[in-house]
């Protein structure tokens, strides 16, 4: 059993390109953060607003990225993300960044998101209702 | 007679949002620069590569923007741009930034692009062949 | 009589550089917005917090920039800004962006800031107390 | 024995702040990349230009960051970086991002830089002369 993978598309913008003529290192992370935001509502049926209304927020606790291929101006990028596991306040999310034309991996890595109370600013256990919502997206892993 | 207007769509990314919880002032300009790049090849049939091969480059000489409405996280933005006129080395481009859901104007303004020789870094007259290519997109202005 | 000019320094960062190997067009505006923030408290004695406490906010209504010279990686940039005039809800601010090594102008332009009520989100007349605070910085213009 | 640690200072800019009212996740990485660039010439006596002249370039192969504390608008940030070790084409660099007022750690992590030939775009062993230059900065570790 594994969580379903979802894809978001991002068009490379001129302000993403750096002196090496490809997408700047930190923008890969921005593409992932965009994909997670996009997928919250569209794929998981839990918008950022629902979290905010409940006094919950997600913060990035850590991230790690391996860079494999350059991304160039004019490219369309596919950002694939999926939940790996939950532990206490933390949700481990994995991602791949793919060049759409070849679907080859340009980067891959993971992010740990921590749930906080927006009132206290402190970590709180991820509520059972949130985990239940995500659990709908567990399925038999493709072999 | 006026030059045809073309639209590009941009999804607001989390890294575009600032402390006021809407798209940061300078990102409006980034959306316009993206739209112009997108439209060069897709709409005008003249890719950046064609310019580069000929030793030509476009630089932004000036810009002016009026901000009318905020753009929020989760919005899809339409960037409409069109050529206004040519003079010597300069092309005057006008733009509107629209909220896709309402098609109301979030910002509008203009950019002057100057053609330079990439060898010398200096302004050169826009070649007649370039103007001819753009002139195909002149049409009766809608009343 | 004219308002005093103040300078802020900004170091060019790698994420400011674009495919043309110089500071990206929109980053010039970011340097100006940084300088205004820096100078609010340090030079004018009115921090952003003081405005926020009073329920006042500043929004950018319009801007215009002329680009004169490139800014390169490794450069230190001087952003000089000064008040030009007030009218109703609007403050007209002028700026120059200078290369520190030569103090030659890389860009210049202006921004119109509009004062809004953070409660209503609508423009309000700039309070007399705010104008009085700024008026301390009016002085004989150097010939 | 360990490599000497060097510090660079970065002022938080308004365009670094996101909807959570603190420095956006990916900007921490931009601060580190700025610090490394700043320290290349100023601290290690090896400018980017020297590398470029020799046909060498550095690319980021991977990075990992742990986020500990928020960074706010108006803050001055200290980015401390140091070499950890070399292996083949790779240099492992460690960093800490500190709030200048308290010198408490806001984030820490590491980056692996890979040396490439700018002609081929492929990884090459880090030249002995480069390692020798860095080795001057090895010293007795403070207890």
Q: What is the pTM (predicted TM-score) of this model?
A: 0.96
* CB nearest A15 (choices: C14, C18, C21): C18
Q: Which of B98, B88, B85 is nearest to B6 (CA)?
A: B98
Using CA atoms, how far apart are residues C100 and D49, in angstroms rounded to an integer?
20
C-alpha distance from residue C72 to each of A107, B105, D36, D80 (Å): 28, 34, 17, 24
Residue D25 with chain A: CB contacts under 8 Å: 29, 33, 60, 63
Residues in chain B with CB shorter than 8 Å from the CB of C63 are 25, 64-65
Q: Which backbone phi and psi does A100 adopt, to 5 degrees?
A: -65, -35
Contacts of C26 in chain A (CB under 8 A): 15
Pick among A16, A20, A26 to test the D interface (most D CBs inside 10 A): A26
Check: CB of residue A118 under 8 Å from CB of residue A56: yes
Taking the CA of residue B140 and the nearest CA in chain C, the distance in Å comes to 30
Check CB contact under 8 Å for D74 and C15.
Answer: no
pLDDT over 90 (residue A78): yes
Spatial separation of the C-alpha atoms in residues B136 and B114, rounded to whole Å: 21
Whether this model's ipTM surpasses 0.90 comes out as yes
Architecture label for domain D2-139 = Roll (3.10)
Chain B positions touching D73 (Cβ under 8 A) are 19
Q: Which chains touch C (3 or more CB pairs under 8 A)?
A: A, B, D
Q: How confident is the model at residue B61 (pLDDT cuts 50, 70, 90)?
A: very high
Helix (H, G, I), strand (E, B) or coil at A39: helix
Q: Where are the domains of chain A?
A: 2-139
Q: What is the pLDDT of residues D10-42, one digit of tens each?
A: 999 999 999 999 999 999 999 999 999 999 989
Three-state SS string over A13-27 comes to: CHHHECCCCCECHHH
CA distance C72 to C20: 10
Measure D45 CA to nearest chain C CA, in Å: 14
Closest in D20, D29, D66 to A29, CB measured: D29
The overall average pLDDT reported for chain C is: 95
Beta strands in B4-122 (DSSP E): 6-11, 56-67, 76-87, 90-99, 104-117
**How close B74 gets to chain D, by Cα (Å)?**
12
pLDDT digits (tens, 9 = 90+) for D39-93: 998 999 998 888 999 999 999 999 999 999 999 999 999 999 999 999 999 999 9
């Amino acid at each position: 059993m594994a969580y379903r993978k979802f894809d978001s598309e991002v068009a490379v913008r001129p302000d993403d390109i750096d002196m090496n003529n490809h997408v700047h290192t930190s923008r890969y992370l921005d593409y992932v953060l965009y994909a997670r935001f996009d997928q919250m509502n569209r794929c998981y049926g839990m918008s950022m607003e629902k979290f905010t209304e409940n006094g919950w927020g997600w913060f990035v606790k850590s991230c790690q990225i391996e860079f494999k291929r350059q991304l160039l101006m004019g490219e369309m990028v596919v950002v694939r993300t999926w939940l790996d596991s939950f532990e206490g306040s933390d949700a481990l999310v994995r991602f791949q960044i793919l060049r759409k034309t070849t679907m080859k991996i340009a980067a891959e890595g993971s992010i740990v998101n921590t749930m906080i109370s927006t009132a206290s600013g402190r970590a709180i256990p991820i509520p059972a209702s949130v985990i239940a919502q995500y659990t709908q997206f567990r399925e038999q892993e493709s072999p």
